[in-house]
Amino acid sequence: MDEKSQNLIFFAVVLSLALHVGLMFFMRPQVMTRIAYSGASLRARAPMVMRERPKSPEAVRFEVVKDVAAQVEFPDAKTDDVKPTADSTLNAMTDTVKMPNIADEIKSAPLPKLGLDPSELLSKPITENSNSLVPNITSPLTPKLESSFGEASPKTDSDLRVSSSPIAVPVAPSVGAPSISGLKLSEIDDGAAVKGADSLAPANAAAKPFEPIREVMAEVDEKIVETEKAAVRSLLDVRDAKELDAFVNMTATSASQGEWTYFKISVLPRSQLKVVPKDVVILLDASGSIANDRLKSCRNNAKKILRSCMNSHDRFNLVAFRDDFRYAFKTWQDCGQESYDRAERWLNSLAAYGRTDVFASAASVLKLPRDPKRPLIALIVTDGIANKGVRETSQILSRFTKLNDGLISVYMYGVKDDANRELIDVLTRGNRGESFIHEGWRKYAGRDLEQLSDRFRDPVLTDLRVVFAADSKAEAYPVMLKNLYRGEMIDIVGRVPVGTREVAFSLKGLNGDKAYEGFFRYELSKTPFDDKIPSLWASEKAIDSKLR
């Protein structure tokens, strides 16, 4: 290429560059990005604000639409919005019997051939010693009632008066039913218990349903606690319990050692059992030994539990404990955004200081009203170090277990690796619960709280009770079984004398207000071998001995 051609190419390139630069300056005001930058981008924009649109007057009447149910289905738990009275305490411990119509009974019944006129029978008074068609139920059956509801209790004799119709007949407590030290179920006169009271009631007589109290009690009232336990037992001890066999899967293993044959029964619920509503109370240790960094982590994870562990129709409450304890709410709170916001504000106000009264704080859960149709679960977050009140671990274990007697399931979360492991592990295993100990950085002390709460999210069979056949001479643990939760398994370990052919037992529990019961038999020679069962049985027995 000659020099002339090179010059032409050079000038063409320069001319092209100059033309492009000129076009850039000429076209700049018409570029869309430039218009947007010079206009909207330069104006300061206020943050987005959600405003509620004013409601216009309704031209028509709309029906109330129920809230959308959670992903878990279960029966609604209904509670009448009625202030409790002393009568409700009495009726919770009695069966109500309605007097039949005497005239109708006598007229309809075939008369004996005694030469008596029917009019004479109708006019003849019914006395205590007369052989009448209707049993004589007299006033000694009326229990002596004391008020146990604080300021809300009735004070006048008229408030404590028992209606003459229907007549309340106390039922004798179940044989072998556990009791609280120093507590009389109800101060009933000697001879007031009636054997076979069910046979006296007409077929259409219906007992008045138990009505739990609504607010947290000022003090632990053992009489009210006992009526709650009696209400649970009354739901369990029914003749029309549903067959449990089709709703659980069971496996059995065994091993012989010395003079004993050991066995383990594992129970897993099937999906046909519906999840029931539950009540959950979270107790946070806010004493000085926890320190603010651990408390902050536990507070934040407690907020997560309220949203991840709770189902529709569940209820919750919160407690902070130090030298004493303080409840966030006087009543159970329904799950919802408003109650969650109030709970978070309360949690944010907590600070760590003071000493720890572990026993009094744990026992405070018995101040909460227990609805027998809803399992009550307490999650206690603590280091387990008691430096006020009852300090001996053995006393805390035995006294609380005796007082609670399986009414409330207790789960405990240890916030540091040097927590009182004996207290945390033994107390929970003897009170229908489980435990977890955090080992790691202080600022992550509450990190695994949500994982522990998942263990009790979906209850399907609660207040479990196992009874072995007497002729098997079985010694089984734990005595107080955990509730059965969806996807979770429980184990029963026991032993019988060598040569025992089979073990037979009944298992009963509640699904809401419905009792389920099953009868099971296992021939020990046909069960798989497991050499770990003897040591597991010894461990469970050692735990039980610390609770007595």
Helix, strand, coil percent values for the chain (each to nearest 5): 35, 20, 45
Better pLDDT: 411 or 129: 411
Q: Where in the chain is the domain with CATH 2.60.40.1230?
A: 244-273+459-546
**What is the C-alpha separation between 389 and 220, in angstroms, rounded?**
16
Q: What pLDDT sits at residue 172?
A: 40
What confidence category does residue 207 fall into, taking pLDDT thresholds of 50, 70 and 90? low
Mean of pLDDT values over 299-307? 93
Reply yes or no on whether the pLDDT at 198 is more than 60: no
**What is the C-alpha separation between 64 and 335, in angstroms, rounded?**
19
Better pLDDT: 52 or 233: 233
Q: What pLDDT sits at residue 2?
A: 67
Region of residue 39 (phi > 0: left; psi between -120 and 50: alpha; otherwise: beta): alpha
Quick: pLDDT tens for 178-195: 333 333 333 333 333 333
The 3-state DSSP class for residue 240 equals coil
What confidence category does residue 542 fall into, taking pLDDT thresholds of 50, 70 and 90? very high
The 3-state DSSP class for residue 494 equals strand
**242-262: b (≥16 Cβ within 10 Å) or e:** eebeebbeeebbbbbeeebbb
Query: Helix 533-546 and helix 421-429: axis angle, to 10°?
Result: 100
Reply yes or no on whether the pLDDT at 485 is more than 80: yes
**What is the 3 state secondary structure string of 425-450?**
HHHHHCCCCCEEECCCCHHHCCCCHH
Better pLDDT: 86 or 273: 273
Tokens describing residue 85: 């009275």
Nearest to 462 by CA among 300, 271, 277: 277
Q: What pLDDT sits at residue 213?
A: 87
Topology of the domain comprising 279-456:
Rossmann fold (3.40.50)
Q: Do 315 and 397 touch, CB atoms closer than 8 A? A: no
Reply yes or no on whether the pLDDT at 146 is more than 60: no
Mean of pLDDT values over 357-361? 87
Angle at 525 between CA 519 and CA 528, to 5 degrees: 85
Reply yes or no on whether the pLDDT at 367 is more than 90: yes
Quick: pLDDT tens for 417-436: 888 899 999 999 999 999 99
Tokens describing residue 53: 């649109």
Mean pLDDT estimate for the chain? 75
Quick: pLDDT tens for 57-72: 444 343 444 444 444 4
Quick: pLDDT tens for 450-468: 999 999 999 999 999 999 9
Q: What pLDDT sits at residue 361?
A: 86
Quick: pLDDT tens for 256-280: 999 999 999 999 999 999 999 999 9
- Return the beta strands (E) in 286-357 as ranges: 315-321, 325-327, 333-334
Q: What pLDDT sits at residue 345?
A: 95
**183-195: b (≥16 Cβ within 10 Å) or e:** eebbebeeebebe
* Correct CATH for 244-273+459-546 of 2.60.40.1230, 3.40.50.10090, 3.40.50.720, 1.10.10.1100: 2.60.40.1230
pLDDT-above-90 percentage for the chain: 49
* Strongest mean pLDDT among 51-55, 92-96, 158-162, 474-478: 474-478
Better pLDDT: 391 or 59: 391
Reply yes or no on whether the pLDDT at 476 is more than 80: yes
**121-141: b (≥16 Cβ within 10 Å) or e:** beeeeeeeeeebeeeeeeeeb
Q: What pLDDT sits at residue 55?
A: 52
Asked whether the whole model's pTM tops 0.75, one would answer: no
Q: What pLDDT sits at residue 390?
A: 86
On the CB side of 103, CA atoms within 13 Å amount to 3
Q: Where in the chain is the domain with CATH 3.40.50.410?
A: 279-456
